[in-house]
Amino acid sequence: MHQPTQSAKSWTLDNVPYGDVDPSMVRDQEHLFYLVTAASFIEIAADLYTDNLIQYFDGDQEVVDWLENKWKPEEVRHGYVLRDYVAHVWPGFDWQAAYDGFFQEYSRMCTVDEFEPSRCLEMVARCVVETGTSTFYQAMSQLTEEPVLAGIVARIRADEVGHYKYFYRFFRQYSATEPPGRIKILAALKRRMIEARNDDAECALRHAYAIRCRQGDPGFSSFKELMSTLGAQVKRHYPVDMAAKMLIKPLDLPRALARLLQGPVATATKKIML
């Protein structure tokens, strides 16, 4: 019987026990292949927009230091860990070719112009992004029984929640000196959520699918079928309440009102984000 080399709790994202993975538990789960691959692309490409973001916050040393020394390395590490998992379980897949195609298209989409009009509101937008990643990895942790992948996504999820907390803290700092008001915060939330819908994920999946087709084994008869299967899988496990709670937090609503709004916001979140 296969014996794990380390106890399940002892490893970190710096020393993932890939040798403990039983590929037969996941190899045939095409939806997992696509989710892990697409996530690896987007996480590694964080490298690109982090530089834009750092430029945007130029002069605010605390934010810049954190983005450079903590946030960026963690996001990129997520990407490399997921990439290595793909290489371990699906070694025939030409990850680099798919990533190169993705990067070429994605790098044209990331420009400074897409940032919010103020630093405070950009922090709100960052909270939306981290809500998206935290809840995505939460859903993914429900999608696999393979212990190493489950451990990876649980650890990444914890990092993403940590990122949310930092961005939220920076948002509070900015709003203490120049409060933007709830209307503008709500508009920033909405803008970013709508943007999240026609997501980077589609771009990443399209490039992964193209290479799988070229290699003769896409696993799905069409890209449309792939998208609807993934949508259904993620939707089934998507933590809407967690998303709603994180999204309305920057509005700093009175507790009773926040509680009242959570249900409708959860419903709206499901419609917009999924």
Please give the residue ranges that form the binding site for Fe ion (CB under 5 A).
43, 75, 78, 133, 160, 163
Of the candidates 51, 62, 55, 49, the one whose C-alpha atom is nearest the C-alpha of residue 174 is 62
Nearer to Fe ion, 184 or 249 (CB): 249
Rg over alpha carbons for the chain, rounded to the nearest Å, is: 19
Helices (H) and strands (E) in the chain, counts: 12, 0
Contact 64, 106 (CB under 8 A): no
The residue type found at 15 is N
Find the shortest distance in angstroms from Cβ 144 to Fe ion.
Answer: 17
Nearer to Fe ion, 41 or 220 (CB): 41
Nearer to Fe ion, 78 or 83 (CB): 78
Compute the distance between CA of residue 49 and CA of residue 270 in angstroms, rounded to an integer. 26
Find the shortest distance in angstroms from Cβ 257 to Fe ion.
Answer: 28
Nearer to Fe ion, 122 or 160 (CB): 160
Nearer to Fe ion, 201 or 262 (CB): 201
Q: Helix crossing, 119-141 with 30-44: angle to 10°?
A: 160
* Token representation of residue 171: 């948002």
Find the shortest distance in angstroms from Cβ 143 to Fe ion.
Answer: 17
Find the shortest distance in angstroms from Cβ 21 to Fe ion.
Answer: 21
Compute the distance between CA of residue 164 and CA of residue 166 in angstroms, rounded to an integer. 5
Find the shortest distance in angstroms from Cβ 163 to Fe ion.
Answer: 4
Compute the distance between CA of residue 253 and CA of residue 245 in angstroms, rounded to an integer. 11
Nearer to Fe ion, 103 or 220 (CB): 103
Q: Which long-range contacts (CB under 8 A, 24 or more apart) does 216-220 make?
A: 217/92, 219/30, 219/33, 219/34, 220/30
Find the shortest distance in angstroms from Cβ 227 to Fe ion.
Answer: 22
